[in-house]
Amino acid sequence: MARKGMETVRRRQLIEATLQVIHDQGLQATTLGRVGQQAGISPGLVAHYFGDKRQLLAATYLSLVRSLGREYGSARAGTAIGLPRVRAIIDANFAASQSGKVIVSSWLSFWAQVNHVPALARIQNVVTRRLQSNLTHNLAAFLPRRDAIELAEGLGVMIDGLWLRASLRTGGLDVDAARAQAHRYLDSELHALTGDQHAQQSA
């Protein structure tokens, strides 16, 4: 395998090991040593690829964000701008790939540190702005812009809240139940704003 390809594989392995250590030990207890032990390599090699703990955690968080982005890309493929893409955003956030205990606990561990770690805060700010922008843009295709902005904010809070509640209960995520509840919230709000015109287009 070419050196670049090997580096990509190794970095992916170390990120997966980091996620497992975060799940098992918590974010604060995650160290280069523990990640190396989980991956079966030396802490020095972990440092070779990521520098220090802060850079490793930022790269790991970014990997979660990119995974979610890929889910949205798949969910929106072939859909029209507007309500179908709003539903695609919901579906992406509650995709099966996002439901495992390791993934859920890692997301929540990172969220808990966003206000304390600037690198994580920068990533989260991008995530939040992108979600709000995508929801607003697609809702504004058929709603007045003010209504679109308010509904986008509410739907974003609903998505985050469903994640938080599920994790506090089980450490995992019942994606089918959470997805259905998010769609019901969307339908309820659309019914209040427009009557049955859009609310009947349920996923």
CATH superfamily of 1-51: Homeodomain-like (1.10.10.60)
**Burial class, 110, CB count within 10 angstroms (exposed 0-12 / middle 13-18 / buried 19+):** buried
Q: What pLDDT is stored for residue 98 in this prediction?
A: 85
Statement: residue 123 has pLDDT above 70:
yes
Greater confidence (35 vs 170) lies with: 35
Statement: residue 200 has pLDDT above 60:
no
Q: What pLDDT is stored for residue 86 in this prediction?
A: 97
Domain boundaries, the chain: 1-51, 60-199
Confidence grade of residue 3 (pLDDT, cut at 50, 70, 90): low
Kindly report, residue by residue over 81-101, the tens digit of the pLDDT: 999 999 999 999 999 888 888
Q: What pLDDT is stored for residue 105 in this prediction?
A: 87
Per the document, the length of the chain is 203
Q: Which residues are CB-neighbours of 196 under 8 A, at least 6 positions away?
A: none
Q: What pLDDT is stored for residue 196 in this prediction?
A: 63
Across 34-61, average pLDDT: 95
Cα dihedral sign, 130-175-186-199 = positive
Q: For the domain 60-199, what is the CATH code?
A: 1.10.357.10
Nearest CA among 64, 149, 40, 151 for reference residue 114? 64
DSSP the chain: --HHHHHHHHHHHHHHHHHHHHHHH-STT--HHHHHHHHTS-HHHHHHHH-SHHHHHHHHHHHHHHHHHHHHHHHHTTPPTTHHHHHHHHHHHT-GGG-SHHHHHHHHHHHHHTTT-HHHHHHHHHHHHHHHHHHHHHHTTTS-HHHHHHHHHHHHHHHHHHHHHHHHHHSS--HHHHHHHHHHHHHHHHHHHHTHHHHT---
Kindly report, residue by residue over 11-26, the tens digit of the pLDDT: 999 999 999 999 999 9
Share of the chain above pLDDT 90, in %: 73
CB 5 within 8 A of CB 13: no
Statement: residue 203 has pLDDT above 50:
no
Q: Please identify which residue in the block is written with the tokens 């040593």.
A: 33
The two structure tokens encoding residue 108: 């929540």
Statement: residue 158 has pLDDT above 90:
yes
- Average pLDDT along the chain: 90
